[in-house]
């Protein structure tokens, strides 16, 4: 039921452009609503069949299941149902309604999908503003991902749908940076692969992907994180003396930051090292100075990110990764040969 998208990169650019035109978007909300009112009240839907198909969707628990306020859930779903009304095609409507039916079953509201659909026919522009006021930032972002999935679940959305989503983004106050990451989440959720996602886009996706485990398979989440990991430190004990970290475990580091220092077993003839910049206790610093005849190596972070430190097989490792990554997964990745 969840069809793959070839590419929604262009759609992302359309959304970002619309977000920048805040005043124009806000002024056009009334027009959007009027378009919806006049567009698709005659869509033919078989609600019993939709419910049967929705029960076959095998996805994780949606955050709507944790949203206790029924009114918020109702607004959330009716905002999505407005997207259905902007495309008069019966088959497209049915596919979108199956997904929204699944969302309704995840929520805590008693209204049927048919009741919600009939109620959304009375929508006015105040629904946008009410949603903005009563729903948290996290749920605004969940909504945007769901809106993009509803829009593209049939393979392509029309310009009226994207205009509606862009206007909703403006009123909800979602930033352009967040929109880009959430759009990639929706793309990966639909396609269940990372094809066409560049390294730069992976970084944007990595900031969001772990929050959407209800849509994205765990192996894909791990694949995203693995692609973003950089081994910055790999220092065996038998090649070094007095290894010392200069940063804390899971500290945010920037490219070029000093993250570790150690002496190699390589003797520097006639020379003494300089350890004055090493972050150590006085006792260990004094001890290190006594090894001044051995080469001092100071390791700088090759990229920005969060550093995960651990030891394995008598080796010190420092892996710079996404903040949302976790140490056990990184250890397993190292042991598997990266």
* Residue 184 · residue 205 · CB < 8 Å: yes
Residue 269 or residue 312, greater confidence? 312
- Cα–Cα distance between 285 and 287 in angstroms, integer? 5
**73 backbone dihedrals φ, ψ, rounded to 5°:** -60, -40
Q: Which two tokens stand for residue 240?
A: 């070094």
Section 103-109 average pLDDT: 92
Range list of H helices, 86-172: 90-106, 113-120, 126-134, 137-152, 159-172
Q: Which residues pair with 296 in a beta bridge?
A: 263
Q: What is the mean pLDDT of the chain?
A: 82
Q: Domains in the chain, please, with CATH?
A: 47-174 (no CATH), 230-267+292-336 (2.40.50.100)
Residue 27's pLDDT band (cuts 50, 70, 90): very low
Give the DSSP letter of residue 326: -
Q: Which long-range contacts (CB under 8 A, 24 or more apart) does 247-253 make?
A: 247/307, 249/307, 249/308, 249/309, 250/306, 250/307, 250/308, 250/323, 250/327, 251/306, 251/307, 252/304, 252/305, 252/306, 252/323, 253/301, 253/304, 253/305, 253/306, 253/307, 253/320
Q: Is the pLDDT of residue 228 over 90?
A: yes
Section 137-163 average pLDDT: 92
What is the residue whose two structure tokens read 């973003």? Answer: 228
Section 208-235 average pLDDT: 93
Which of these ranges, 162-171, 223-232, 260-269, has the smallest mean pLDDT?
260-269
Q: Is the pLDDT of residue 285 over 90?
A: no
Quick: pLDDT tens for 89-101.
888 899 999 999 9
Q: Is the pLDDT of residue 29 over 60?
A: no
**How would you classify the pairing of strands 252-253 and 294-300?**
unpaired
Give the DSSP letter of residue 313: T
- Cα–Cα distance between 34 and 306 in angstroms, integer? 48
* Structural Rg of the chain based on CA atoms: 26
Enter the pTM of the model.
Answer: 0.75
- The helix (H) or strand (E) run that includes residue 265 is strand 258-267
């Amino acid at each position: 039921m969840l069809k793959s998208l070839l590419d929604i990169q262009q759609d992302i650019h359309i959304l970002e452009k619309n977000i920048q035109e805040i005043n124009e978007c806000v002024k056009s909300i009334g027009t959007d609503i009027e378009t919806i009112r006049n567009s698709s009240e005659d869509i033919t839907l078989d609600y019993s069949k939709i419910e049967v198909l929705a029960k076959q969707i095998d996805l994780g628990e949606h955050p709507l299941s944790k949203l206790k306020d029924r009114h918020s859930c109702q607004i959330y779903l009716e905002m999505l149902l407005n997207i259905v009304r902007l495309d008069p095609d019966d088959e497209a409507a049915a596919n979108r309604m199956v997904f929204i039916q699944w969302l309704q079953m995840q929520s805590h509201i008693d209204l049927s999908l048919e009741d919600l659909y009939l109620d959304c026919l009375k929508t006015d522009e105040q629904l946008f503003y009410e949603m903005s006021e009563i729903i948290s930032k996290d749920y605004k972002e969940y909504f945007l991902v769901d809106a993009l999935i509803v829009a593209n679940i049939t393979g392509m959305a029309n310009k009226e749908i994207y205009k509606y989503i862009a206007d909703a983004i403006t009123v909800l106050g979602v930033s352009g940076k967040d929109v880009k990451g959430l759009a990639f989440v929706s793309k990966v959720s639909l396609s269940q692969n990372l094809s066409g996602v560049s390294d730069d886009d992976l970084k944007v996706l990595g900031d969001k992907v772990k929050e959407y485990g209800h849509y994205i398979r765990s192996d894909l989440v791990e694949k995203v994180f693995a692609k973003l990991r950089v081994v910055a430190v790999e220092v065996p004990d038998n090649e070094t003396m007095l290894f010392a970290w200069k940063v804390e475990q899971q500290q945010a580091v920037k490219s070029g930051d000093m993250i570790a220092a150690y002496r190699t077993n390589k003797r520097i003839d006639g020379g003494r090292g300089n350890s004055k910049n090493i972050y150590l206790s006085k006792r260990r610093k004094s001890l290190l100075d006594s090894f001044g005849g051995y080469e001092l190596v100071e390791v700088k972070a090759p990229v920005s990110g969060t550093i995960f430190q651990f030891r394995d097989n008598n080796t010190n490792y420092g892996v710079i990764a996404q903040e949302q990554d976790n140490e056990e997964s990184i250890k397993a990745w190292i042991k598997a040969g990266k």
